[in-house]
A and B are shown apart, each in its own frame.
Chain A
Amino acid sequence: MTDTANIDVNVDQKLKEAYFTASQGQLIWTRFKKQTAAMVGLGVLALLILSGIFAPFLTPYDPTIAGRNKDYMNGAPNIPSFCDDNGCSLRPFIYSYDRTRSIQTNFRWVTETDTSLEARRYVVFFTQGDKFTFAGINFSTHLFGVDKGKIHIFGTDSTGKDIYSRTLQAINTSLAVGTIGVFIAFVLALMIGGVSGYYGGWIDSVLQMITDAVRTIPTIPLFMALAAFIPETWSAETRFLFISIILGFVGWPTLARRVRTHLLTERNQEYVLAAQLCGARAGHIIRRHLLPSFTSYIIVDLVISFPYMVLSETALSFIGLGLKDPVNSLGVMLQQVTSADVLLNYQWYFIPVFFFITLVLAFVFVGDGLRDAADPYADTKK
C-alpha cells in the first residue's frame, strides 16, 4: 500500500520536474496538444503537406498534358471495388470501359463499362509508370496503378488529365507559392518592422506612415493590375515565381506591424533591461532575448498568414491571371468548375474544391491553436 503510494509520489515528482524543466516550446506544445480541433487540423495539414510533397509517387500519372488519357476525357471517377456479380477478389479492381461519341449520343461521350470478369482491371501497387524527378533523382515507381489501361479515381478533365494526380500536384504548388510568398513577406516585415520597432522615434513614425499607406491599398486590384502585365512569353515557372514574389510584396505590411508591436513590447521587458545593465551589446540582446521570445509569435503569425497567401493565389489563378498549365495550382483547379456544364455533367471536378477548403481550414485551425497555446495569458484565463 505504502509502496504504491511512494511510486505515485515518485511519478508525480517526475512529472513535476518535467514541467519545471520544460522550455517555452515544450510548454506551448503541451498546451497545443490539449486542443482537439487544432490537433485534428495539424494531422490533416501534415497529411496534405506530405501528399503534396510526395505527389509524384502517390499519384499514378503525370499531372500535365504529357500524362493525359486520350481515350478518357471528362471521364467519371473509377472507384475500385472488391466484389461484383462475378464474385469477389482479394485485389481491388475496376472495369474496362469503352467510350463512344456519335450523332446518336448528341456528340456527348458515352461510357460503356464492361463488367465481365475478363475486363476487370486489377489495382497493382508499386507499379512502373510515368517518369518523374524527385530530389534530383529519376523515378518511375508509383504507389498504385492498374495492370492494364489506366485508373482515374477522381476522374479526368476535358483534356483527359487525371484529376487525382493534378489535385495532389496542385496542393504542392499552392503550398510552394504560399511558402515563397510568406517568406518574402516575412523577410520584408522583419526588416521594416524590425528597424521600426528597434529604433523607435521618428524612424518608427515614418515607417509606420508608409506601412499604413501601403496597407490601405486594396491588394488584389493592385495585384491584378501587375499580373496583367506579365508577358505572355514567360514560361509557366517564371510566372509561378513572379506571382509568389508579388504575393510577398503585397503581404508584408500586416506582418510588419505585428513584428514591430512584438518588438516594442519585448524590448521594454525588464529582463532585457537586466541584460543591458550587464553591458550586453545589441547583438547579444537580439540573439539571446528578442529572437527566442519572438519565434513563437512569428511562427503563429506565419501560420495564420499562410492561408491568405493560398487564397490570394487561388483568387488570381481563378480569374486567369495567376498560374497556367502545365503548372497546376488549386486556383487553376477551381477555375475549371466555373461552367454550368460541370455542375450538370461532370461533378467530379468539384473534388479539388474540397481539398482546397480542407487545406485552408486546417491552416486556420492550427494557427488558432498555436495562437492560444502561445498566449502567455491562456493559463490565467481559466
Chain B
Amino acid sequence: MLQFARFTVMRAGLAFFTLIMVSLIVFSLMELVPGDCAERYLSFKSSQGSVITLADIQAERVRLGLDKPYLVRWGSWIINAFQGEFGDSCILRLNISELLGQKFWLSLGICLASLLLAYLVAIPVGIIAATSKNPYLNNSLRLVSYLGLAMPNFLLALMIMLFSTIYFGDTLTGLFSKEFRDAAWSWDRVKDFLGRAWLPVFILAWSATAFAIQTVRALMSDEVGKLYVVAASARGVTGRALLWRYPARHALGPIINSLGFDLNRIFNELPIVALILTLTEAGSLLIEALARSNDQQLAGAIIFMLTAAIVGINFVTDIILALTDPRVRRSILG
C-alpha cells in the first residue's frame, strides 16, 4: 500500500513536471510570436478609432507586467495557471477563466464522449478484424478503417451539414437551439443539447474510431498468437470465453495506456469541426483566440488547459493500469 502511494505520488510528480514543461513550451511559443499583448490590444483599439501613441503602449506594457524579464513572467503565469487563473484576455479584456469556464468543460465533455463512442465501436470491430479468418470481411474492415483516416473529419462534417441543410432544412449546427442558447441549465436545455451534440460527437469519433480499430486490431493480433491462448483452448476453453478472458483482457492494458494520446488526437480535430459546425458555445473561443484575433493570452490558456486534460487522463490511466494489471503492479511494487 505504501509503495502504491509512493508510485501515485511519483506519477503525480511526473505529471506536474510534464505540465511545467508544456507550459514553458506554450509560453515560449506565444512569446516568439511577433507583437505582444499591449501592442495587440492597442492596435485593436486604434482600429476602433482611438488615437494611440507609443507612450500608451509603454504604459500598457507596464500595467500588464510585460516589462519584466521573460522567466519572471513565465513563473507568475504558471503559478496562476495552476490556480486556474489565466489573467485577462488580450482583446476581449475579460477574465479568461470566466470566459472559458463552462465552455471548456462542454468541449472536454464532447471530446470524451467521442472517445467513448470510438472505443465502443472499435473494440468489437477490432476484435472481429483480428480474429476473423474471413479474408473478405478482414479486407473490407481494413478499407473502412482506412477511409476513416483518409476522409478527414472536416469533410465529413461538411457533407453531413450540407446534406441536412438541403434535405432537412436544418443546418444541425451549434450546440443549442436558439431559444436555449443563453438559457440557464434545465432539463429541456439538456435535452436540446443532447439532440445537437450527437453530431460533433459522431464526427469527432469518426477518425478516432478508425485509429482505435487499428490499435485494437494490432494488439489483438499480437495477443491471439500467443501460446497461452493455445494452452487455454487445450484446456477446453472455447468461444467467447477464449476471446474475452484471454487475448482481449490482455490487450486492454495498452489500449487504456493510449487513451491520453487518443484524446490528444481528438483535441486536434476539435477546432476545425467546431468551425464548420459553428459550435459557438464550445469551440468559437478556440477559433476566435487562435485564428482570428491573435489573442495570445487566451490561446495560451486554452492550449494549456487542453494539455492539462491530456496529462490528467494519462495520470488516471496509469493509476488504473497499476491497479488492474498485475504485471504493471509488479513492476511498480518490485
Question: Taking beta carbons and an 8 Å cutoff, which residues of A are in contact with B?
Answer: 37, 209-210, 212-222, 224-229, 231, 307, 311, 314-315, 318-321, 334, 337-338, 340, 343-344, 353, 356-357, 360-361, 364-365, 381
Contacts and interface: CB of A to CB of B under 8 A. Distances in A.
Contacts of B260: 216
B25 A360 contact: no
B286 A221 contact: yes
A219 B303 CA distance: 9
Given A209-B21, A307-B149, A343-B162, A220 B271 contact: yes
B291 A220 contact: no
A226 B33 contact: yes
Nearest to A311: B152
A220 B268 contact: yes
19 contacts: A216-B311, A217-B22, A217-B307, A221-B270, A221-B271, A221-B303, A224-B291, A225-B296, A225-B303, A228-B291, A228-B294, A228-B299, A229-B294, A311-B152, A314-B152, A315-B152, A337-B155, A344-B166, A365-B146
Contacts of A214: 25
Contacts of B299: 221, 225, 228
Contact of A307 (B150, B225, B264, B267): B150
Interface of B: 14, 17-18, 21-22, 25-26, 29-30, 33-35, 139, 142, 146-147, 149-152, 154-155, 158, 162-163, 165-166, 225, 260-261, 264-265, 267-272, 275-276, 286-287, 289-292, 294, 296, 299-300, 302-303, 306-307, 310-311, 314
Chain A contact residues, majority secondary structure:
helix
B17 A218 contact: no
Contacts of B33: 225-226, 229
A37 B143 CA distance: 10
A340 B152 contact: no
A343 B163 CA distance: 8
Nearest to A227: B291
Given A221-B303, A315-B154, A213 B22 contact: yes
B290 A225 contact: yes
Contacts of A219: 268
Given A218-B265, A225-B290, 5 more contacts: A221-B290, A225-B296, A225-B299, A228-B291, A319-B154
Nearest to A229: B33
Contact of B166 (A37, A210, A315, A343): A343
Given A209-B18, A213-B21, A340-B162, A218 B306 contact: yes
B266 to A, nearest CB: 9
A226 B29 CA distance: 8
A170 B150 CA distance: 17
B290 A228 contact: yes
Contacts of B155: 334, 337, 353
Nearest to B292: A228
B151 A318 contact: no
Interface centre among A217, A337, A361 (most CB of B within 10 A): A217
B90 to A, nearest CB: 13
